Structure 1
Amino acid sequence: MSRTRHPLDNTDKPVSRTVILVLGMHRSGTSAITRVVNFLGAKLADELMPPQPDNNETGFWESAAVVQLNEDILQSGGSRWDDWLRFNPEWFRSPVVDEFTGRALDILARDVGQTGFFALKDPRICRLLPFWMNVFRHFGAQVKYVLPIRNPLEVAASLRARDGFGLSKSTLLWLRHVLEAEAATRDLPRVFVGYGELLSDWRLTIHRIADTLDLEWPRFSAEAEREIDAFLDAGHRHHRVSDELPMDHPDLSEWVKTAHGALLGLCREDGQQGLLEQLEEVREQFDLACKNLGVALHDEHTTLAKKAGNLEDRLSDCQLRLTEAESANREWERRIAALEAKHAESREEMEHALHEQKEATDRAAEKHNRELARQAEKTRGAEHARDEYKAGRDEVSKKLDARIQELVRFTRILQEKDEEVEATWKQLGKAVMALLDYSPGEPLTRRRQKRLVARIQESGIIDEQWYLGKYPDAAETGMDPSLHYLMYGALEGREPKDASRKVVQSLDHG
């Protein structure tokens, strides 16, 4: 059963442990810093968010339970993780806080136990700091704040690659997170750390964090250094740009430029009054603009959410149609297999007929030779023997002509079967086009093109390597083989995979 404590009461537990709270925007190096302090002795939760391919392969290093809790808090306050508006300040005084406080304390008790030194990280906490500060007071934990700062253009490039966000949305998200984290931790034990600084010289950075926050690293050892060196591979830092570029970039708001410049200054020396005043002014202007635009933005988000729902419905319909297409494809494969079996049977019959023909011809020739020998012995006249030989040869020729005509008939039958299979492939191509709701020549967006190609590949209808080997002209185009089949091959009746229909050629080589 969850604990129940009022978030604003004064019944704090005595401080018995220390937590390093890493506060930064998504894609700002929070995972790297959290893992480094973990190597140096700060405990993390046992159940962490799993690494994601093409996202954070080395790990997020954040508690899965804490992330879910923060998602629930944001939802209960009418927000979400990618919302750059200010989180509803009235939520922190609302009755629901008790329930979430109890959940947070239960999570910490389970994740941390009796550990005296641990680290916590989730970018969502930047917007929920009043809540978490109160939770740590109840938990008896002294908080040391580490605020990683990364170039907002790098953050925007990373979010565009991962989530498809535009530059404006990404940089405003960055601005909201860094402003909230800075304002809430002012005059508290904190240190600003540049992400590039950590990657270029983590030892100097860690010593600066320890000196600023009055910390001792319990696991600073040769083994820990080797682990950190292996972990901090600067080759994994994508979308790198100059730290000074945002000051001159034409597409960034003045708020972002000013805030980034001030935060770079605080990385060098915290507490500079002029820089803090700049950040305070930016935050006031940003909050005022968000307040005035909030209703309009909410309406726009509602409209977009409806559109997203419609797209989800269309996706479900497409998935259903794809399932039907796969079923139809299996039926076509069954029919093709039956035709191939008939081809194999016809080929076997043809080979048997050829074998019998050869044996009959050999027997006839042998018999003819014997007859000639007997006739040569019986007659003394060379002319008579020559006439007999000619008559026998003509008879054999007639039989051979008859057999050849029979071979021609069998060859024509096989050609007709080939034409049936070719027609079948054309019908299959048309069926695929219909099931994918695509007409040859119809303009395709890159997204739809990619989705149709993925479905063709998943259906197994095409053997891409065989297709390129079969059709050199398709290979010469440089197109993806599945895309070439979609746009040209299906309509032209090209085979997407080996149908083993080379009967006539095999006979020619036999």
Structure 2
Amino acid sequence: MSSRRVVFVVGSGRSGTSTMAGTLRTLGLHVPQPEVVADATNPKGFGEPRWVVDLHTELLARSNVQVSDARPRAWLDTGTTSGDHATRARVATWLEEQLAVGDELVIKDPRAAWFLGLWRAAADRCGATSSYVTMLRPVTEVVGSKQTYYGQVGAGSDQGAVTRTAAWVNMMLHTERATRGQQRAFVRYGDLLDDWTQPVFALGEAFDLQGVKTAMAVDIAEVHKFIDPSLRRVTMTWDDIGVPARLRELADETWQALDGLATDDSASLQETCDQLRAAYAEQYAEAEAYAHSTVVAQRRAAAAEARRESGQPARSGADRVPHAVRALVPPVARQRLRRAIGREREA
């Protein structure tokens, strides 16, 4: 059996994925270099390979999908984009190069959830076993943290919270589905901060990670220094976040199901996730239907702005009909049409 292992740390951003990746790195797993540089939003580092982030950013742009996208159909778009032979070969070649550096890799990027099929195929091609750690953090804390560190989305805080809550539901439920049937574990961020040794050493046994199972005392001491309970800097509740009741209820039910998977990855909870995913798709379709007029209006405004910038005069529907064709319409009929559309000529 191959000793090659690739551990994918997945889940929504701001849910402890960086802490988990950093912990596994400290215990001896290899994070492909160079890494994304730490900043004020994540002072301990992201644990993200730069090459992986750049690849996912490119694929998301080609798919017209955001990092945190609330649209259920976005999964189809990213799957289509990443399914071509050239992309698969490119990822497999890079992964083979990294496995030559270390037999046990940890790959973390919040964008990775959109492309798990691509990575699984690459790992299989390299003869490596894929494992998945999904980090769990209450949705209100995830959304609150994003609001705090990434700013608002749209015209107001409520709009930002709604968008991010919906994206969390979409991301987490589809990640659960994409990792089902694979070697996986769900880890609560709170458990990682309270006593990291329990969930991490359990992962070492479950995934047969030699870096974790044979960790030296000095490595364990370094992880104790790395994990700081104060990392959980944002703790919010629904009282702090303005989200419609229906979405809030769906998000709460999603959290309860996922939280349950941390201790019981059972078929019944998986079925609950399927039901929640279907309910979310239905709720999102209703929201799209309600917002259709707004979307159309925005498209018209964008088209008008583009015409103004190009110096082209605005043209009505009637103006776009050739004069020779308009002349064939009887005068009385033309007057009635003008009256109907509010363009009746003055006497």
Which bracket does the TM-score occupy, shorter chain normalised?
0.7 to 0.9
CA contact (8 A) 1:85 1:294 kept: no
User: How far did residue 289 of structure 1 move?
Assistant: 3.9
C-alpha deviation, 1:228, in angstroms = 0.6
Q: Secondary structure at the match of 2:36?
A: coil
Q: Which of residues 65, 77, 96 in structure 1 aligns to 2:51?
A: 65
* Structure 2 residue 261 is the aligned partner of structure 1 residue 253: no
Q: For residues 206 and 234 of structure 2, what CA distance do their matches in structure 1 show?
A: 30
- Cα distance in 1 between the residues matched to 2:25 and 2:296: 41
TM-fit CA distance, 1:90:
5.8
1:264 to 245, 259, 272: 259
Change (3 A) 1:172 1:91: closer
Question: Are 1:170 and 2:164 counterparts?
Answer: yes
Q: Distance in 2 between matches of 1:276 and 1:171?
A: 21
CA–CA separation in structure 2 for the residues paired with 1:131 and 1:278: 26
Check whether the contact 1:149–1:192 (CA below 8 A) recurs between aligned residues.
yes
* Cα displacement (A) at 1:237: 1.5
User: SS at the partner of 1:196?
Assistant: helix
Displacement after TM superposition at 1:145 (Å): 1.1
Partner of 1:191: 185
1:81 Cα offset (Å): 1.0
State the one-letter code of the partner of 1:17: R
Secondary structure class of the residue paired with 1:253: helix
Separation (CA, whole Å) in 1 of partners of 2:145 and 2:300: 27
Match of 1:501 in 2: none
CA 1:226/1:103 → structure 2, altered by over 3 Å: closer, same or farther? same
1:158 correspondence with 2:145: yes
Aligned to 1:371: none
- Determine the structure 1 residue equivalent to 2:63: 77
Q: TM-score, normalised by structure 1?
A: 0.52
**CA separation of 1:254 and 1:141: change in aligned 2, threshold 3 A:** same
1:144 is paired with a residue of what secondary structure? strand
Equivalences for residues 128-277 of structure 1 within 5 A: 128-165=115-152, 166-216=160-210, 217=212, 219-241=214-236, 252-271=247-266, 273-277=267-271
In 1, Cα distance between equivalents of 2:288 and 2:264: 35
**How has the CA–CA distance of structure 1 residues 299 and 136 changed in structure 2, closer, same or farther, with 3 Å as cutoff?**
farther
2:328 is aligned to none
* Partner in structure 2 of residue 324 of structure 1: none
Name the SS for the 1:128 alignment partner.
Answer: helix
Alpha-carbon spacing, 1:230–1:281, altered in 2? closer, same or farther (3 Å): same
Q: What CA deviation, in whole Å up to 9, does each residue of 1:135-171 have, x standing for no partner?
A: 2212221011111100111101111012224221121
Amino acid in structure 1 at the alignment position of 2:207: L
Deviation at 1:113, TM superposition (A): 2.7
Whichever residue aligns with residue 35 of structure 1, its letter is G
Amino acid at match of 1:34: A
Amino acid in the other structure paired with 1:97 = D
CA deviation after TM superposition for structure 1 residue 194, in Å: 0.3
Indicate the residue corresponding to 1:278 in structure 2: 272
* The structure with more helix, counted as a fraction of residues: 1
d(CA) in 2 for partners of 1:29, 1:304: 37
Supply the distance in 1 between the matched residues of 2:23 and 2:217 (Cα, whole angstroms): 14
Aligned length: 291
Q: TM-score, normalised by structure 2?
A: 0.74
Change beyond 3 A, Cα 1:36–1:307: farther
Distance 2:20 2:184 in 1: 14
Partners of 1:298 and 1:38 in 2: CA distance: 47
Give secondary structure in 1 for the equivalent of 2:270.
helix
**Structure 2 partner of 1:99:** 86
CA contact (8 A) 2:31 2:105 kept: yes
How far apart are 1:296 and its partner, in Å?
7.8
Q: 1:303 Cα shift?
A: 8.2
Q: Secondary structure at the match of 1:284?
A: helix
SS for the counterpart of 1:268 is: coil
**RMSD, aligned CA:** 3.2
| Structure 2: distance between partners of 1:39 and 1:298 | 49
Following the alignment from structure 1 to structure 2, what is the Cα–Cα distance between the partners of residues 150 and 30? 10
Q: Once the two structures are superposed, what CA deviation does each residue of 1:236-263 show, in whole Å capped at 9, x if it has no partner?
A: 21112579x99xx958522211110011
Q: 1:178 is aligned with what amino acid? A: M
Q: In the alignment, what sits opposite 1:40?
A: 27
Indicate yes or no: 2:8 matched with 1:21. yes
Alignment CA distance shift 1:88-1:118 (3 Å): closer
Label 1:45 to 1:298 Cα distance change in 2 as closer, same or farther (>3 A).
farther
- Cα separation, partners in 2 of 1:306 and 1:169, compared to 1, 3 Å: farther
Per-residue deviation, residues 337-392 of structure 1 (Å, max 9, x unmatched): xxxxxxxxxxxxxxxxxxxxxxxxxxxxxxxxxxxxxxxxxxxxxxxxxxxxxxxx
Q: How does 1:380-399 map to 2 (within 5 A)?
A: none
1:379 is matched with none
CA distance 1:252–1:296, shift in 2 (3 Å): closer
Radius of gyration: which is bigger? Answer: 1
Write the deviation string for residues 8-67 of structure 1: whole angstroms up to 9, x where unpaired.
Answer: xxxxxx9551111111101010000011111111101111011112x1111111111111
Q: Which amino acid aligns with 1:31?
A: S
